[in-house]
Structure 1
Amino acid sequence: MDLTLINTIRTNNFNDEQVMQKITDMWKGASVDLSQHEGNTYGLYHEYESDYKGDYTLSVAIEGKSESSITIPEDIEYEVFKVDTDSEQGILNTWNKIWNKEKEGQLERAYTYDFEKYYPNGSIDIYIAVK
C-alpha cells in the first residue's frame, strides 16, 4: 500500500508535554489538503525508536503514490481494533486498550507501521503490526 504523507511530526507519548498539541496542530495543518479528499485518511505511526514509550513519527496520509509517499510492505500482519466513535475519547480509549494488551503480554507488536484508518462513513479502525 502506498500512502502519500500530508503532514508529519516526531513526538513521544510519555516524554513530550506538547504531544496532544502537536497532534492537534498536525491534523489542523493537514485539513486544508484533506478538505477535497473523499477516500480513506490515515494517521500513520512509523520510525519507532523502541516501543510505545519511545519516540515515533506520526503522519497524516492518504492512499496514493507521490514524491512524499511511503510504501507499506504487503506482508505485514495486523491486529485490527475498532474505535467506538460514539465516545469523544474513543481513539484514546482504544490506544489504552492496545497498550494494556501489550503490557499483559497478549499483543506482540512489530513496531514497523501502525495506522489509524479513518473511513468516509465516520468509522475508525486502528491497525497494529504484529510479529
Structure 2
Amino acid sequence: MNLKTINSVRTNNFKDERIMEKITGMWKESTKVLKNKDAVVYGLYYDYESNYKGDYSLSVATEGTGDEASIEIPSDNKYEMFIVDPTDEQGVYKTWKKIWESEEKGTLNRAYTYDFEKYYPNGTIEIYIAIK
C-alpha cells in the first residue's frame, strides 16, 4: 500500500506536553488540503524510537503516489485490526488504550513498523496494528 502524506508531526504519548496541540493542529491543517471528502483518510504511525512509550512520527495520509511525500507500506506486514466506536467522542483514544493494555499483558506482540488509523467517509474507524 502506498500512502501520500499530507502533514506530519513527531511526538511522544507520555513525554510531550504539547501532544494534543500538535496532533489537533496537524489534523486541522490537513483537512484544509483534503479535497475529496469521499476518500479514505489515514493516521499513519511510523519511525518508532522504541515502543508506545517512545517517540514516533504521525502523518495524515491518503492513498496515492507520485511525489516525495509518499510512504510505501510493505505488503507482507501482518496486522491486527481494532474497530473504534464512532459514537464515542473518546473512541480512538479508548481503543489505543486497549491496544497498549493488550501489549502490556503480552496478548499483542507489536512489530512497531507501520500502524494506521483508517477513517472511512461513512464514519467507520479502524486501527491496524502491525504484529510480529
TM-score of the alignment, normalized to the shorter chain, above 0.5: yes
Conservation of the 8 A alpha-carbon contact between 2:37 and 2:121: no
The residue type equivalent to 1:61 in the other structure is A
The residue type equivalent to 2:128 in the other structure is Y
Matched residue, 1:38? 38
Q: TM-score, normalised by structure 1?
A: 0.98
Deviation at 1:39, TM superposition (A): 1.4
Deviation at 1:66, TM superposition (A): 2.2
Deviation at 1:34, TM superposition (A): 1.4
The residue type equivalent to 1:103 in the other structure is E
Deviation at 1:120, TM superposition (A): 1.0
Can you list the C-alpha shifts for 1:1-24, whole angstroms capped at 9, x where unaligned? 000000000000000000011000
Counterpart-to-counterpart distance in 2, 1:14 and 1:44: 18
Counterpart-to-counterpart distance in 1, 2:76 and 2:26: 29
Task: Say what the alpha-carbon RMSD is for the aligned residues.
Answer: 0.7
The residue type equivalent to 1:14 in the other structure is F
The residue type equivalent to 1:11 in the other structure is T
Q: How many residues align?
A: 131
User: Which 5+ residue runs of structure 2 have no aligned equivalent?
Assistant: none
Structure 2 residue 96 is matched with structure 1 residue 95: yes
Can you list the C-alpha shifts for 1:30-53, whole angstroms capped at 9, x where unaligned? 011114342110000000000000
Counterpart-to-counterpart distance in 2, 1:46 and 1:79: 16
Q: TM-score, normalised by structure 2?
A: 0.97
